[in-house]
Structures are given as structure tokens and as C-alpha cells.
Chains A and B, each alone.
Chain A
């Protein structure tokens, strides 16, 4: 199944939704004005909205608030990384009734980076790593042509010294191969003609090569 190649914003949204399905111990928005807050009067614990407070995307254009030191929050981002595997390209052509299409397939390699904060950060990072090997998480990635590279390095605990305290933080990164399909409408030669002239510029031969079946 071909899909359009992913862009970083799509990757962010995809990773956010999948990490939210990993059963992590995350903090909830305490502000009752926000719909994903359990303190909101319309919050339904039997059908809760996604906890976007607990899993946030990095590199927001105008920044975003930072969680408190006792809150469990995962920050995610995805970047394309260089890999020998993304050099190899498979090119084919497809003809429709009105167009001739060039189809290029190749593998693009993404690195998902999780900055896991909070008192449960170490355990949350462990769960993220383990859940990537589960079939249900695999299937969610596969729906977007993403396939987990199954040799992730161990999560790394690196508490941050900020605001006169140490903030618990664990970093975890995993790579994914994206099966990319690019399609371009292109042109091709239906026939080729060879015209031969002599030194007096007199045509001596005109050969037309028809389209090959």
C-alpha cells in the first residue's frame, strides 16, 4: 500500500498517538478548563480524551510550558537520519490510460527521540522500549509504512540540573524504516526518428523506430 511520504508534523502526531497507547504512567492536566483534564466537568473516565498533557511534541514554534518536577511527561520528536539503507532506490514505470508514472521506492530512516521526565521516567522509558516489540504497536506504525528497527539502545538516565534542583529525565531513541513511495507523472518517447544526411545536406535515409510493445 502506498502512502505519501511522512513529514515531521505527521510524525509528531503519529508518535504522540502511539506513545499514548503504551500504558505509561503519565500526569494529567490539572486545569479544569482543558477538555483532557480529569477536573473538566465534561471529562468521561470511561471514554477519556487523549492525554496530550502527558505526551508532548518538541520544537513548538513559540515554545510551550514545562511540566512541574513531580509530573510524568514524555516529550517526543522525530528526525530523519542518514543510513546506508536509504541509498538504495527501486524505480519502475506504470502507464495508465492518460498518464505515464514514474514510481520510486526506497527506505527512509527516522529516529524517534523520547525525553521522558518525572518520578516514573525510568520505568516509563522501559515500557516505551518494550512496547515497541508488541504486535499492536507494530501494527499502528505499519499503517503509516513505518517499521521498527529492532535493536534500540538502552534508555539513558540523565537527570537535569535546573531551577536549583535535579529533574529526573531518561532519554530513549529508536529507529524506524519508512517505506517511501514517490510518484511523478513523466513523459516518454513514443517513437524515435533517425534522419541521415550526406555532406551536401541531402537526406539519404529516414528511419522511424516505433514504440516497443
Chain B
């Protein structure tokens, strides 16, 4: 049987608070109409998926970075069924948009998300 890693994900020595901005909305005149985001406090392990990386284009330098978030509460990518666009995760005041999610049901039922830094510079 696989080890349950919930205790690791919730460990106060490793985990830290972050906020999930859930982005509900619906189709309407002019396109997707976003509603007021829901602020969901979360607690989990935040780690680097890819460090800040410079991309030079003729206009200017773009900086890309990704982080991995592991937490007990679910995080979502865009879903028509749920009527949401991808969650935005706010950690240390910086916004990251969820690009990939997964669930480790066999290890205690925690979720992971890979999220991209939204600021361009």
C-alpha cells in the first residue's frame, strides 16, 4: 500500500498559507462573463516547478516562472461543467494561474497544481 502523504502536505514545517481565487463565470453577450472571484484560504506545500526564466523577444524581456502547489483542498483548471476558468493562486502576493492539476487519491487524497506566474516582467 502506498504511503499516505497528507501529513507531509499539511506539515507546519513544510506547508504555508496561500489563497485560491476561484473564477466563476458564464457565457453572455460579448463573451465569457466573470463573476466575483471567491477567495478560498488554502494551506499546503509550495515549491518551484521552474525558476524565473528570461525570454527575449524584439519588444522586451518576458519572464516566465511556474510553481507547484500541493494541498488538501482541490484546485481546478478551466471547466465548463464547473462553470469556472482556471484558479488563480496567490502566494507571497504573486498571482499564479493553474495550468495543470492532479490528484493523489491513493496517497491520502491531496491535490497538486502547476501554476504559471501571471506578471509579464
Contacts and interface: CB of A to CB of B under 8 A. Distances in A.
Nearest to A169: B59
A63 interface: yes
Nearest to B118: A163
A163 B58 contact: no
Task: Indicate the member of A56, A65, A66, A163 with the most B CB atoms within 10 Å.
Answer: A163
Q: For chain A, what secondary structure do more than half of its interface residues adopt (helix, strand, loop), or is it mixed? A: loop
B86 A163 contact: no
A77 B117 contact: no
20 contacts: A63-B60, A64-B60, A64-B61, A65-B121, A66-B61, A66-B62, A67-B121, A68-B119, A68-B120, A68-B121, A162-B64, A163-B64, A163-B116, A163-B117, A163-B118, A163-B119, A164-B86, A164-B96, A164-B115, A165-B118
B58 A59 contact: yes
B116 A164 contact: yes
B21 to A, nearest CB: 13
B101 to A, nearest CB: 13
Interface of B: 54, 56, 58-64, 86, 96-97, 99, 115-121
Contacts of A56: 59-60
Given A58-B59, A66-B60, A165-B97, 19 more contacts: A58-B58, A59-B58, A60-B60, A64-B60, A64-B61, A65-B61, A66-B120, A67-B60, A67-B120, A67-B121, A68-B119, A68-B121, A162-B62, A162-B64, A162-B120, A163-B120, A164-B96, A164-B97, A164-B115
Nearest to B64: A163
A182 B117 CA distance: 51
Contact of B99 (A66, A69, A164): A164
A64 B63 CA distance: 11
Contacts of B54: 63
A163 B66 CA distance: 9
A69 B97 contact: no
Contacts of B96: 164
A122 interface: no
Interface string A42-74: 000000000000001011100111111100000
Interface in A154-168: 162-165, 167
